[in-house]
């Protein structure tokens, strides 16, 4: 994994956070940043976020960002410029109920100075189209998007949300030419959240108190790490024995199936999923802007892990201001290790079918 040589912004982000000098800081009141331009104050400095693709996922993420107040400036970019403008107008009208935030439709040059650019642009599977056809189409779309983002913002972080997210993260690393710690995918942050939610329902505790991860592909070959799942440091067999909860193989199978197949179930009912992924992207953004060193199961370029090499998949990863700080190389059970190797094979085959030339 290549290491970033960027210096990174280390000032506190979020409401009022920026990298301006001490003297200009002293000219501004403490609290929410002013929207009025002030000499030396760059509201779009460390808390500017660009979103490419403002369909359901991108626009819901923008809304979540606005309500959170962590971003000072949000740029919306879409091939459908009118859509981006409409979303910007609608979101701006929520500002009086939320936080001072500058939101506008823009183009790729506006990615300059963004701490991160989230890419949620893509097309959906057409009737009769194979998954691989879709991968090729979205990879071609990324061929238009990624070089422009990287050119406009060579110091920024790129986060991929478009599916298949692991393959497109690999494609983005190839196209962007940025250090690998600054290019990653949302990976299994959503699957991990679903897993923790399903487990919390079964165990009768807050999902935030359930520590359990889905690793590997964001998709059918993903792997639940049962062997390390715990509540309060108690592995699940002890926790369940202590609390009189049954957790047999059939329960585990059901919980995992509900996790893995959740997207299909939601899409059958409402056509798309976007709230939970937007909340996950928001959590990832906050971890970066506030340099929180949060552990999140994002997709990154993995080398030399249980025989896996040169493929993007998800592992618990420490995320902070520089992007990926560390990837945590879990000690897996033999069954889980076989699962993640299988996941890597599936992804490798898809990547190979794209015939990318390694730069």
Ligand X SMILES: NC(=O)c1ccc[n+]([C@@H]2O[C@H](COP(=O)([O-])OP(=O)(O)OC[C@H]3O[C@@H](n4cnc5c(N)ncnc54)[C@H](O)[C@@H]3O)[C@@H](O)[C@H]2O)c1
Closest separation in Å from C-beta 271 to ligand X: 9
Cis amide prior to 164 (ω within 30 degrees): yes
Kindly tell me which of 104 and 337 has the beta carbon lying closer to ligand X. 104
Binding ligand X (rule: CB under 6 A), the pick from 13, 50, 51, 52 is 52
**Which position's Cβ is nearest ligand X?**
55
Stretch in the footprint of ligand X (CB under 6 A) among 6-14, 121-129, 222-230, 288-296:
121-129
Kindly tell me which of 230 and 294 has the beta carbon lying closer to ligand X. 294
Kindly tell me which of 52 and 212 has the beta carbon lying closer to ligand X. 52
Q: Does 58 bind ligand X (CB under 6 A)?
A: yes
Q: Are 354 and 166 in contact (CB under 8 A)?
A: no
Residues in the chain: 359
Closest separation in Å from C-beta 175 to ligand X: 13
- Let me know if 218 is a catalytic residue: yes
Q: Are 347 and 203 in contact (CB under 8 A)?
A: no
Closest separation in Å from C-beta 188 to ligand X: 8
* Residue list 202-261, contact with ligand X (CB under 6 A): 218
Q: Does 106 bind ligand X (CB under 6 A)?
A: no
Closest separation in Å from C-beta 321 to ligand X: 22
Q: Are 34 and 353 in contact (CB under 8 A)?
A: no
Alpha carbons 199 and 196: distance in angstroms, whole number: 5
Q: Does 140 bind ligand X (CB under 6 A)?
A: no
Binding ligand X (rule: CB under 6 A), the pick from 65, 72, 145, 346 is 145
Closest separation in Å from C-beta 137 to ligand X: 9
Q: Does 120 bind ligand X (CB under 6 A)?
A: yes
Q: Are 100 and 33 in contact (CB under 8 A)?
A: yes
> Which of these is catalytic: 93, 218, 303, 335?
218
Stretch in the footprint of ligand X (CB under 6 A) among 66-74, 116-124, 301-309, 349-357:
116-124
Stretch in the footprint of ligand X (CB under 6 A) among 19-27, 32-40, 97-105, 114-122:
114-122
Binding ligand X (rule: CB under 6 A), the pick from 14, 53, 179, 216 is 53
Binding ligand X (rule: CB under 6 A), the pick from 80, 109, 333, 353 is 80
Q: Does 284 bind ligand X (CB under 6 A)?
A: no
Stretch in the footprint of ligand X (CB under 6 A) among 6-14, 15-23, 46-54, 286-294:
46-54
* β-bridge pairing 234-235 and 230-231: antiparallel
Binding ligand X (rule: CB under 6 A), the pick from 78, 110, 174, 291 is 78
CA dihedral (90, 96, 99, 101) positive or negative: positive
Terminal Cα distance for the chain, rounded:
15
* Residue list 294-353, contact with ligand X (CB under 6 A): none
Q: Does 121 bind ligand X (CB under 6 A)?
A: yes
Please give the residue ranges that form the binding site for ligand X (CB under 6 A).
52-58, 78-80, 83, 120-124, 141, 144-145, 161-163, 165, 186, 190, 218, 272-274, 277
Catalytic amino acids? 218
């Amino acid at each position: 994994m290549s290491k970033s040589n960027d210096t990174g912004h280390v000032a506190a982000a979020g409401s009022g956070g920026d990298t301006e000098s001490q003297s200009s800081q002293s000219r501004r009141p403490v609290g929410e940043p002013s929207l009025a331009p002030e000499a030396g104050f760059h509201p779009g400095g460390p808390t500017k976020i660009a979103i490419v693709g403002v369909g359901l996922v991108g626009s819901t993420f923008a809304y979540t960002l606005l309500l959170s107040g962590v971003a000072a400036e949000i740029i919306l970019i879409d091939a459908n410029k009118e859509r981006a403008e409409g979303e910007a107008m609608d979101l701006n009208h929520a500002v009086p109920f939320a936080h001072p935030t500058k939101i506008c439709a823009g183009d790729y040059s506006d990615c300059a100075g963004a701490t991160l650019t989230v890419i949620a642009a893509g097309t959906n599977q057409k009737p009769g189209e194979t998954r691989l056809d879709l991968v090729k189409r979205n990879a071609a779309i990324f061929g238009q998007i990624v070089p422009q983002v990287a050119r406009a913002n060579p110091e920024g972080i790129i986060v991929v949300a478009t599916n298949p997210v692991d393959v497109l993260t690999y494609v983005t690393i190839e196209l962007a030419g940025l250090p690998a710690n600054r290019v990653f995918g949302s990976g299994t942050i959503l699957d991990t959240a679903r897993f923790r939610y399903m487990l919390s329902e079964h165990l009768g505790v807050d999902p935030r108190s359930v520590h359990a991860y889905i690793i590997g592909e964001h998709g059918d070959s993903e792997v639940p790490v049962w062997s390390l799942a715990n509540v309060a440091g108690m592995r699940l067999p002890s926790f369940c024995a202590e609390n009189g909860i049954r957790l047999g193989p059939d329960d585990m199978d059901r919980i995992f199936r509900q996790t893995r197949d959740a997207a299909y179930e939601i899409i059958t009912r409402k056509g798309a999923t976007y709230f939970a992924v937007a909340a996950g992207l928001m959590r990832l953004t906050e971890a970066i802007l506030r340099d929180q060193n949060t552990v999140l199961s994002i997709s990154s370029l993995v080398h030399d892990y249980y025989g896996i090499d040169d493929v993007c998949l998800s592992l618990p990863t420490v995320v902070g201001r520089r992007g990926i700080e560390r990837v945590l190389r879990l000690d897996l059970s033999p069954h889980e290790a076989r699962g993640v190797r299988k996941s890597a094979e599936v992804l490798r085959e898809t990547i190979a079918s794209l015939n990318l030339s390694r730069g």
